[in-house]
Structure 1
Amino acid sequence: MTETVMTRSRSGGRAARRAVRMAPKFDMLPGLEGKLPLCEVMDAGQVERIDAASMHILENVGVQFRDEIALADWRRVGAKVEGERVYLDRGLVRELIATIPSDFTYHARDPKKNVRLGGRHSVFVPMTGAPYLRDLDDVRRNPTLDDLAMFHKLSHMMPALHSSAHHIVEPYDHPISQRHLRITYSSMKHSDKMFMGMTTSPKNAEDVMEMCAILFGAEFMEEHPVTTGNCNGNSPLVWDETMLGAMRAFCKRNQPVLCSPFVLGGANTPASVAASVAQLNAEALSALAYTQVIRKGAPAIYGHYLSTVSMKSGAPMAGTPEISLMNFMIGQMARYYGVPWRTSNTLGGAKTFDAQAGYESATTLSAVIHAGANYIWHSAGWNEAGMHCSVAKFIVDAEQCAMAYRMAQGPNWNDFDEAVAAVSDVGPGGHYLGHPHTQANFQEAFFMPDMFDNNSIEQWMAEGSQEITERALKRARKLLAEYQEPVLDAAKDEELRAYIARREREIPAADELNQSF
């Protein structure tokens, strides 16, 4: 979708042409193919040292799989199982993870928005899971289904976001037990980009798979990834029945899952960057290996959620140097094993969209780009340690992702000779503003952010002295007013609605409507 807002002069000439040139574009950027050198903070010996430590943990400490089906699966493939603890031989782990695809393509409702993942191919995905939002008036409150739809619409319109995710915010006006159905439908209906699938229970994950089969076709899903599930581990070294059941629902249908240990550095991992990575690596490998026990060749993504814990308060922190270091190290480990990897992006612990939120988010964004992350999740809106999604921050974060996208592509050499020739044309003391090369290239040569104000202070004051939060909220309102819903096939829409209605009749909801508005 392309926004075209034309300001016509009486003749419709110069002003109209300029308006067309300067009109913002809503077309999704292709998946990012990074060209920058990767930041690798470990040498080959240190990578092997992390690998050896992780394999030692898997073989001698073991990982708890609190799920009878998983335990039976591990026994079937020859793992040592004692109670709920599984001891994984390094040879078995290497054999299993070798069948994970190193890259694959996500298929969106609009095929033009398919994106490749793995190697140097990356995608930006909005945040999910916020129990509160800061709304269009910057008021912190409980979200509703309409608020969720708003974020899915904004995701659809932000060029650098490649996904509408799933529950960006929790819709408190709908029963918890049935919520996954409405969340999935909102992701599908309000955007034609790829999306995520709920993994809050095995049955919920199966519902998501059935809805995807309605939208894309069950046979199509057998060969084509269309959604993503996230399975969080319980660090240290535990995978529970809920996550493992959801993992099976996705893997059996050949749909990718993020195998994500949840790291609170210093609390559920050692107070050491390198040792934390060794533990996280063992946890991720155990889950990645299990995806291949479920279905050999199923796509899977080395995941994690990273934070460090303040020893003053016990609260998770964002934007710290250790988080950046761990991202660099995990990127190296994922490439060592030849699997795609996920990270978290633009994380903020601030309570409002202030300078702290900006610094934290910018630090993380820079690190994940230079680390070469593939599935770049929580890329827009995250603040207050994930407790709320901010509309203002969502808009600015999405633009920051577009700026990072431009940087990650590296320098453009296509017009180098023509640009150098302009130096001869202009000569000493001249300027380039009227030169034909500048006129032809000024829009693409340098990124011009809409959310940053670079005018003089006099002009800024004359225009109302607007801070970035106010500018971003004004932009969000404008986008929502101009949103055009991507048409969903009527027959598929009807079938999805019928499925939701049937499942809502089947799922108890009596004790669920206990929201605190």
Structure 2
Amino acid sequence: MTDQTKIRSGGRAARRAARAAPLPDHMRPVRAGLTGGAYRPLTADGMDRIHAAVLDALEQIGLADAPPSGVAYLTGAGASLGTDGRLRFPRTLIEDTIARANRSITLMGRDPAHDMELSGARVHYGTAGAAVHLVEVDGRTYRECGVQDLHDAARIADTLDNIHFLQRPMVCRDISDNLEMDLNTIYACCSGTTKHVGVSFTDPSYVAQAAEMLHMIAGGEDKWRARPFISNSNCFVVPPMKFATESCLVMEECIRHGIPVLLLSAGMAGATAPSTVAGAIVQALAECLAGLVYVNAVQPGHPAIFGTWPFGLDLRSGAMTGGSGEQALLTAGCAQMHKYYDLPGGAAAGIADSKLPDMQAGWEQMCSNVTAGLSGLNMVYEAAGMHASLLGFCHESLILGDDLIGQALRCVRGIEVTEETLALDQMRAVCMGGPGHYLGTEQTLGRMETDHVYPRLGDRTSPKEWSELGKPDLLAKATARKAEILSRRSAAAFDPALDKALRERFVIHLPR
């Protein structure tokens, strides 16, 4: 072997070793916070007309059923209470609120590595929902889900690169006491992941005890307020155009305890919102802007996510159509309006109406996940694991969703045009006296990890290779991956002393 051959061989081995090593975050082909915004289903004139309709709706129709405290906060901010009990919002109040609102919010994880900056068109994908069933792929069955299932979902999400946050995807149906359910939801999620967690509260009186638990996990109230690692998913409205009285009181309590709030408006187009895509967007925006006035009247500058979540409806049957093209447009249009107002926002995408992780689920989940990311949605909720129009959650589908979202994020990243990526030097070298192909060139090898996303479970083998490997099944691979993750101790598990203290103070249903 010549010295030159040794040099070439050593260089190739070094390159292989470098490719095998984990990439630094800034060099990964996809990551949290990539900038979208290339997809704009609304024209500039369309956005202006939607905004004008929103202002008219708030000034002329307003919202009903605010609690007395909400009436006081909102009238104090400049809204007017009519004899019909509806609060109406002058245009100047809405415009002033938008002008003063936060342009950037950081949602924090227990581990700062998972902090998410919500601003501009930075995109993050995660879970959400309140499924009452767990989808079991081995028997193709649905059963009621419990606290262990929720904890397992958190543990799985903690290991998935393209799941950036965990908003509670399931309800603990095995806990009948609502206070214990709310507290155990926090415990199950936070002991399973160090990513940001979203939860809901059933009653305003529960928030103080939840805050006590959060202070213990954080190491003190001061540490919690400095880095709040959960947010409250708050359905503060009952569409169309009514405040949800008790949820508004929950929201007020969350603000007092330093918990960031997701202002969630979830109208159903054709039922509780107008049937047209534009009309459903107008109503969602109007409701969330009223909520933004409310939050800033309670505490100016409190972190609030602009959560327009209009959903599609099959007008033939009344069934929800979370996996439809209309849903994709609803979400993308909302995201575009978030940018119009320059407000940090979120909406729903990635929902499958299919009951199992099958081909239908694949096209439904990818359709809205891609358009949501391309539209620059800051928080893409319900992006993985959700089936049966939010009635079922599936652990295997969550794992497969990580692969799917990786491809969606690659679309969000887009096409970089530089002297290097235009590749004229490579073309000259390869075509004029070179090997006639680009396989093995320094540029190809140097960029294969930074430019390309490789699925972890998706199969790209040839039919011959696939057959030789025993014809591996995608769901079986996801099930094996789930078993592998859950066989290890969670990296997010609480310190034994903290866990003991939490179990002594609260009724914890999750087994040790």
> How many angstroms does 1:107 deviate by?
2.3
How far, CA to CA, are the matches of 2:217 and 2:366 in structure 1? 37
Quick one: which of 311, 315, 333 aligns to 1:307? 311
Q: Partner residue of 1:186?
A: 188
Equivalence for 2:167? 165
1:161-184 deviation line (CA, Å, top 9, x unaligned): 122323x22222222411111110
User: Mean alpha-carbon deviation: is it higher for 56-65 or for 478-487?
Assistant: 478-487
Partner of 2:110: 109
User: How high is the TM-score relative to the length of structure 2?
Assistant: 0.87
Matches within 5 A, 1:55-134: 55-82=55-82, 84-134=85-135
- Counterpart selection for 1:292 from 289, 292, 296: 296
Q: 1:357 aligns with which of 361, 370, 373?
A: 361
Cα separation, partners in 2 of 1:185 and 1:16, compared to 1, 3 Å: farther
1:41 correspondence with 2:44: no
Are the counterparts in 1 of residues 133 and 391 from structure 2 also a CA contact under 8 Å? yes
Partner of residue 271, structure 2: 267
Give 1:476 shift: 1.9
SS in structure 2 at match of 1:362: helix
Greater shift in the superposed pair: 357-366 or 33-42: 33-42
Residue type of the alignment partner of 1:441: R
Q: CA deviation at 1:149?
A: 1.5
- Return the alpha-carbon distance in structure 2 between the equivalents of residues 142 and 26 of structure 1: 41
Most deviating of 282-291 and 19-28: 19-28
| Partner residue in 1 for 2:409 | 405
Match of 2:242 in 1: 238
Following TM superposition, by how much is the alpha carbon of 1:114 offset from its aligned partner in structure 2, in angstroms?
1.8
1: distance between equivalents of 2:475 and 2:22? 20
Once the 2 structures are TM-superposed, how far is the Cα of residue 421 of structure 1 from its aligned partner?
Answer: 3.9
- Residue type of the partner of 1:431? H
Residues 37, 241 of structure 1: CA spacing in aligned structure 2 closer, same or farther, 3 A cutoff? Answer: closer
Of stretches 384-393 and 65-74 in structure 1, the one that deviates more from structure 2 is 65-74
Q: 2:230 aligns to what?
A: 227
- What letter corresponds to residue 179 of structure 1 in structure 2? M
Range 47-56 or range 129-138, more displaced: 129-138
Deviation at 1:98, TM superposition (A): 3.1
AA paired with 2:290?
Answer: S
Residue 374 of structure 1 and its aligned partner are, at CA, apart by 0.5
Q: CA deviation at 1:227?
A: 1.8
Alignment of 1:464-479 (within 5 A): 464-479=470-485
Q: Does 1:324 align with 2:315?
A: no
What letter corresponds to residue 239 of structure 1 in structure 2?
A: F
Aligned partner of 1:446 among 445, 452, 460: 452
Cα 1:117–1:37 change in 2 (3 A) is closer
2:225, 2:44 → 1: CA distance? 37
Q: Secondary structure at the match of 2:312?
A: strand
Q: Among all aligned residue pairs of Structure 1 and Structure 2, give the percentage whose two residues are the same amino acid.
A: 24
1:100–1:299 contact (8 Å) kept in structure 2? no
**TM-fit CA distance, 1:364:** 0.4
- Give the conservation status (yes or no) of the 8 Å contact 1:26–1:157: no
Structure 1 residues 10-63: Cα deviation after superposition (integer angstroms, max 9, x where no partner):
xxxx99996995588999989633344432233333322212211212122120
- What does residue 4 of structure 1 align with? none
Cross-structure match for 2:285: 281
Q: Which residue matches 1:435?
A: 441
> What secondary structure sits across from 1:449 in the alignment?
coil
Give the Cα separation in 2 of the matches to 1:318 and 1:24.
Answer: 36
Using the TM superposition, give the Cα deviation of residue 496 of structure 1 relative to its aligned residue in structure 2, in angstroms.
Answer: 3.0
Cα distance between partner residues in 1 of 2:492 and 2:17: 25
Pick one of 235, 238, 256 that aligns with 2:260.
Answer: 256
How far apart, CA to CA, are the structure 2 residues paired with 1:108 and 1:284? 25
Q: CA deviation at 1:218?
A: 2.2
Is the Cα–Cα contact under 8 Å of residues 35 and 123 in structure 2 kept in the other structure? no
> Match for 1:196: what amino acid?
G
Deviations, residues 280-305 of structure 1 (Å, cap 9, x unaligned): 21111111111111111111111122
Q: Partner of 1:198 in structure 2?
A: 200
Distance in 1 between the 2:147 and 2:17 partners? 36
CA contact 1:451–1:471 (8 Å) conserved in 2: yes
* Ranges in structure 2 where 5+ consecutive residues have no aligned partner: 1-11
TM-score by length of 1: 0.86
Superposed CA deviations along residues 304-351 of structure 1, whole A, max 9, x for unmatched, are 223221121110112323223322322232222221110112111011
